[in-house]
Amino acid sequence: MSNKIYLDYQATTPVDEKILKKMIPYFSEYFGNPHSNNHEFGRSANNAVDEARANVANLINAETNEIIFTSGATESNNFAIKSIAKDYFEKECQIITAKTEHKCVLESCHELEKEGFQVTYLDVDEDGIIKLSELENLLKEKKALVSIMHANNEIGVLQPIKEIGELCKKYNSIFHSDIAQSIGTQKIDVVEMNIDACSISAHKIYGPKGIGSLYISNNIKNTLRPLMSGGGQEMNLRSGTLSPALCVGLGEACKDISQNREKYTKHFEEIKSALLSDLDSSKLDYVINGNIKQRIPNNLNISIKGKVAEQMFNFMPHIALSSGSACTSGTIERSHVLSAMKLDDSRIDGSFRISAGRSTTKDEIKELIKCMGKILIN
């Protein structure tokens, strides 16, 4: 394993050892059902869940009763979009999203279209960013549920969510954002940014898989109905027994970010600088996809001119990279994100994502560029 290099941290991250250490007791020692408050076993588990909820809330400046635990951002996005559209607005709204959103957002919107909702898919410019003027023109016509992710999962570009939130507030609309890819490096304040709902996945931020959260503002939460029926857990919005261990994992991951975000971000910036320097020093004919400045620091999506990324990967199997989002890489289809940016097919075929992690080294970056050079330069 020592010669293997992992550069696909936007797909998933390993569980941080200190976070795993906090989780382990809740698999065996404190195994009680957190919803059984009539004995100490349940109360201990429930206390851990409450602390985890507070850690998530503190990270984004939310109230603890505005945080709902889910299985991850896909569930959170589905719940937010479908429930807000159906219950808060009761079809008396339009839905606005972007063509570059995660598949779970786009598919949720497609389902709502079939039910009679009006959905608009915003174009993006060549940098992958929406035009605020186009959004405002739509909001002037009719109140809306707007769902725009903060950082794109393929190209890492940051959308102007503070400005989007301001427009939504101005036009009496609701703003939901998938912040799963940005929360590890970007400060999110749901109050300051006028965010009504946002989604997080633990496994993107060195927590465990199978747990995430949905923030829903108290201003709209009480109007929503659950997608699943059951025992009424999670403030009667998401039935099912919570896993204290997983909740602790997410809570500790959020707490760690609150304490160390600047340190992690500085590391990512240094790695990105080294990557760009090594690319420029090489003879590789590459182009960067997405705005180079307005993006998360741990992402670089590039295209090698005249080459097919998947073919390149076959010659360096010890290096983990992604030619598209992990959720769709099993299918043979061009990136809908890069297609929405109107890039030509050759550039899309030659594109791949390099996503660094907290343990990524400059030597690993040099090895990547060295291998690419051997394969691609004749």
pLDDT of residue 325: 45
Q: Are residues 222 and 365 in the same domain?
A: no
pLDDT of residue 235: 87
Q: Are residues 236 and 317 in the same domain?
A: no
Q: Within the chain, where are the H helices?
A: 17-23, 25-28, 40-60, 73-83, 103-114, 132-141, 161-170, 218-221, 233-236, 244-281, 309-314, 336-340, 345-349, 362-376
d(CA 153, CA 258): 22
pLDDT of residue 256: 98
Domain hosting 305: range is 5-13+261-376
Closest CA relative to residue 258, chosen from 120, 93, 118, 58: 58
Q: Are residues 107 and 236 in the same domain?
A: yes
Q: Is 104 a catalytic residue?
A: no
pLDDT of residue 326: 47
Cα angle 117, 122, 126; round to 5: 160
Distance (Å) of CA 52 to CA 68, 190, 215: 11, 18, 14
Q: Given 204, 224, 257, which residue is the final one in a domain?
A: 257
Q: Given 257, 284, 305, which residue is the final one in a domain?
A: 257
Q: Are residues 226 and 246 in the same domain?
A: yes
Q: pLDDT tens track of the chain, all 378 residues?
A: 458 999 999 999 999 999 999 999 999 999 999 999 899 999 999 999 999 999 999 999 999 999 999 999 999 999 999 999 988 887 778 999 999 999 999 999 999 999 999 999 999 999 999 999 999 999 999 999 999 999 999 999 999 999 999 999 999 999 999 999 999 999 999 999 999 999 999 999 999 999 999 999 999 998 888 878 888 898 889 989 999 999 999 999 999 999 999 999 999 999 999 999 999 999 899 999 999 999 999 999 999 988 899 889 999 999 999 986 445 555 568 899 999 999 999 999 999 999 999 999 999 999 999 999 988 765
Q: Are residues 310 and 231 in the same domain?
A: no
What CATH number is associated with residue 363?
3.90.1150.10
Question: What's the one-letter identity of residue 358?
Answer: R
d(CA 55, CA 215): 12
Q: Are residues 157 and 276 in the same domain?
A: no
What CATH number is associated with residue 184?
3.40.640.10
- Is 214 strand, coil or helix? strand
Q: Are residues 88 and 167 in the same domain?
A: yes
Catalytic pick among 104, 168, 254, 327: 327
Q: Are residues 159 and 203 in the same domain?
A: yes
d(CA 324, CA 102): 11
d(CA 10, CA 294): 17
Q: Are residues 97 and 194 in the same domain?
A: yes
Q: Are residues 180 and 197 in the same domain?
A: yes
- Is 230 strand, coil or helix? coil
Q: Are residues 108 and 241 in the same domain?
A: yes
Residues 218, 182 contacting (CB under 8 angstroms): no
pLDDT of residue 226: 84
Q: Given 257, 276, 304, which residue is the final one in a domain?
A: 257
Q: How many separate domains does the chain show?
A: 2
Q: Are residues 135 and 60 in the same domain?
A: yes
pLDDT of residue 47: 95
